[in-house]
Chains A and B, each alone.
Chain A
Amino acid sequence: MSDASFLSLDKLSLAYGKTIAVKELDLDIRKGELLALLGPSGCGKTTTMRAIAGLMTPVSGRITLDGADITRVPANRRNIGLVFQSYALFPHLTVFENVAFGLKLQGIGGDELTRRVDAGLKSVGLTAFSGRKTPDLSGGQQQRVALARSMVMQPKVLMLDEPLSNLDARLRLEMRTELQRMQKETGVTMIFVTHDQVEALALADRIVVMRDGAIEQIGTPEEIYNNPVSSFVADFVGFENLFAIRNGKLVAAGGIELDPAGPLPDAAGLAWRPRAIALGAGPFTGTVRGVSFAGGTREYLLESGFGTVKAEADVSVPGYPLNAEVAFDMPISAAAPLHRFG
């Protein structure tokens, strides 16, 4: 084992009954990394997480952790923590007892138990809530209890299911910072599952984009954001204008072909973010069908001869009214080349 493959999935296939959820997945996770599994619902990300935790048995393939094959090791002996989306706290126990649950099962008691639970509660800032019953806490506090309950076990891997999706905007930022701090302090390998690209980009060291039970792309947030390999990833991270390349021409979503403004790269398609569309001059024209103000920018929906184009322009330049005819350009140099389309 090396640090680069602390946890590895080797041709892992997972199924619910006869429905295949994950097909021959290969993935190496580094020790101490913060990895995001990103994808729409039904892409197999949660299933993969459950298999790593041991909550479901693979159809085929292998999972190795820290040099040991854990494919057949029962969930209660893997020492992998999981913070559920619902938090799954034990409502009949106090905050202290929830955090103490796993330690007690290891036969830890007395002063050591108190010391370790207190340290866990302190690390999530809940010392004052130790004696409360968990249903009395707010959602954010419940999540911290769930986090402390997993972390006091000193798990080899900590997994989190949609950790920020149930929180409001302010708490989300707070929790994000806290998770990153905790990860840096303890060095625990963290995997979290999300359908929200903003969450994944902000939190992860590395992102695995999944689609239909397979990996679509693996990369750092910058790589995923700037260089999506496929139209699926591009669409997921905010490239709203997607064109396939066929016989030297660009093909819009509606199937209409258009001549590019310059020589095309060797790729299956091109993708432009709204802000990469240059308004005011260019070979194409469109009618403004929608304008929305987004703080520093204005977003436009343009109806062109080949379909709708989404553009974004700085508020410092004069805007265009509804139904105005606007010339625009889709510069090849500003486009992301896609290796797979469709």
Chain B
Amino acid sequence: MTQRLYAPIILLLVMIFLIGPFFIIVAASFSAGDTLAFPPQGFSLKWIAKVFTVESFRQSFAVSMFLAIGGTLTALLLGIPASYAMSRYKLPLSETVRFLVSTPIIVPGIIVGLALLRYFVIPVGLSITLALFLAHTALVLPYAVRVVSASLANLRSDMEEAAVLLGSSRLGAFFRVVLPNIRGGILAAFILGFVTSFNQVPVSLFLSGPGVRTLPIDMLGYMEIVFDPSVAALSALLAFLSIGIVFAAERFLGFSRYV
């Protein structure tokens, strides 16, 4: 009896804790006042409109998009063949590789960022853009390998053998039979990777230079100088973008099966 009473209350508290801040941000972005505040003062769309006029937001949005799309695609290009090899062949070092590939999740991002800056950007002269690209690719790689491996594990290898016996080459069987059957997993990995890269702060913190910084870092910098609701408006817009992508993926691909 007590269980019936407590369970919904706990659930409600968790929901408030998880989703509450999101409603505050959304509400604050519609404020008519000049400072970021909750409850909002009045109602206007002017801060949402202002987001699109800030030049640095536009630049850093482009950088973040490039990193999220380019980094995730690169991670998939590396991760798909690696996952395939580890799932189909008994390789001597596959457990080690699996672990190494996971390290970017385990090592704190701030250390990765600092290390890249201290040992690559400064002494070697690696450009900030390239350092960011490498960091984001490495960061997304574990998701690519994990999610793609999971969908490969559900795929029986005799399907490829059947394709070979019908006249296909091994490589052809991979493209004709394996790839179409793991495309849901690949898309799931892409979305996870995209969101991870796009929201990444610690790694990117040390890696910013003239005209090159990611959107979250730019938002942090902006807030230190200007404390108006446009950051809330931008956050709300980004949140709706993410929700839209996840819903579309769930609707068309059954995203939740792969994560």
Identify the A interface with B (CB < 8 A): 53-55, 75-78, 80-82, 84, 86, 88-92, 101-102, 105-106, 146, 149-150, 153
Interface size bucket, B side?
Answer: 10 to 19
Shortest A15–chain B CB gap in Å is 15
B181 beta carbon closer than 8 Å to chain A? yes
CB <8 Å contact, B167 and A76: yes
Between A and B, 18 residue pairs with Cβ closer than 8 Å are A53-B165, A55-B161, A55-B164, A77-B167, A82-B162, A84-B161, A86-B158, A89-B159, A90-B159, A90-B181, A101-B163, A105-B167, A106-B167, A146-B162, A149-B162, A149-B166, A150-B166, A153-B166
Shortest A277–chain B CB gap in Å is 45
Pick the most buried of B156, B161, B180: most chain A CB atoms within 10 A of its CB: B161
Residues on the A chain within 8 Å of B167, using CB: 76-77, 102, 105-106, 153
Residues on the B chain within 8 Å of A54, using CB: 165
B249 beta carbon closer than 8 Å to chain A? no
Known: A76-B169, A149-B162. 19 other contacts (CB 8 A): A55-B165, A76-B165, A80-B165, A82-B161, A84-B158, A84-B162, A86-B158, A89-B162, A90-B163, A90-B177, A90-B181, A92-B180, A101-B176, A102-B166, A105-B168, A146-B162, A150-B165, A153-B166, A153-B167
Shortest A113–chain B CB gap in Å is 14
* Number of A-B residue pairs having CB atoms within 8 Å of each other in the complex: 59
Residues on the A chain within 8 Å of B164, using CB: 55, 75-76
A75, B163: Cα distance in complex, Å: 10
Residues on the B chain within 8 Å of A84, using CB: 158, 161-162
A75, B158: Cα distance in complex, Å: 13
Known: A55-B161, A88-B158. A101 touches B166 (CB 8 A): yes
Shortest A190–chain B CB gap in Å is 15
A102, B164: Cα distance in complex, Å: 9
Residues on the B chain within 8 Å of A150, using CB: 165-166
Residues on the A chain within 8 Å of B166, using CB: 76, 101-102, 105, 149-150, 153
Residues on the B chain within 8 Å of A75, using CB: 161, 164-165
B129-165: CB near A (< 8 Å → 1, else 0) gives: 0000000000000000000000000001011011111
- Among B156, B169, B176, which residue has its beta carbon within 8 angstroms of that of A88? B156
Residues on the A chain within 8 Å of B181, using CB: 90-92
- Closest A residue by C-beta to B177: A90
B166-189: CB near A (< 8 Å → 1, else 0) gives: 111100100011001100000000
A318, B180: Cα distance in complex, Å: 66
Shortest B155–chain A CB gap in Å is 9
A75, B167: Cα distance in complex, Å: 8
CB <8 Å contact, A88 and B180: no
Shortest B88–chain A CB gap in Å is 13
Pick the most buried of B161, B162, B176: most chain A CB atoms within 10 A of its CB: B162
Residues on the A chain within 8 Å of B163, using CB: 90, 101
A53, B180: Cα distance in complex, Å: 25
Known: A91-B181, A92-B180. A82 touches B165 (CB 8 A): yes
Residues on the B chain within 8 Å of A86, using CB: 156, 158
- Closest A residue by C-beta to B183: A92
Residues on the B chain within 8 Å of A106, using CB: 167
- Closest A residue by C-beta to B166: A102
CB <8 Å contact, A88 and B159: yes
Residues on the B chain within 8 Å of A76, using CB: 164-169
Shortest B174–chain A CB gap in Å is 13
Shortest A31–chain B CB gap in Å is 20
Shortest B82–chain A CB gap in Å is 23
CB <8 Å contact, A88 and B162: yes
A82, B180: Cα distance in complex, Å: 22
A102, B165: Cα distance in complex, Å: 9
Residues on the A chain within 8 Å of B161, using CB: 55, 75, 82, 84, 88
A113, B163: Cα distance in complex, Å: 18
A78, B168: Cα distance in complex, Å: 11
Shortest B198–chain A CB gap in Å is 30
Residues on the B chain within 8 Å of A82, using CB: 161-162, 165
- Closest B residue by C-beta to A78: B165
A75, B176: Cα distance in complex, Å: 17
A149, B163: Cα distance in complex, Å: 10
Shortest A89–chain B CB gap in Å is 8
Residues on the A chain within 8 Å of B172, using CB: 105
Residues on the B chain within 8 Å of A55, using CB: 161, 164-165
Residues on the A chain within 8 Å of B176, using CB: 101
Shortest A284–chain B CB gap in Å is 52
A311, B168: Cα distance in complex, Å: 55
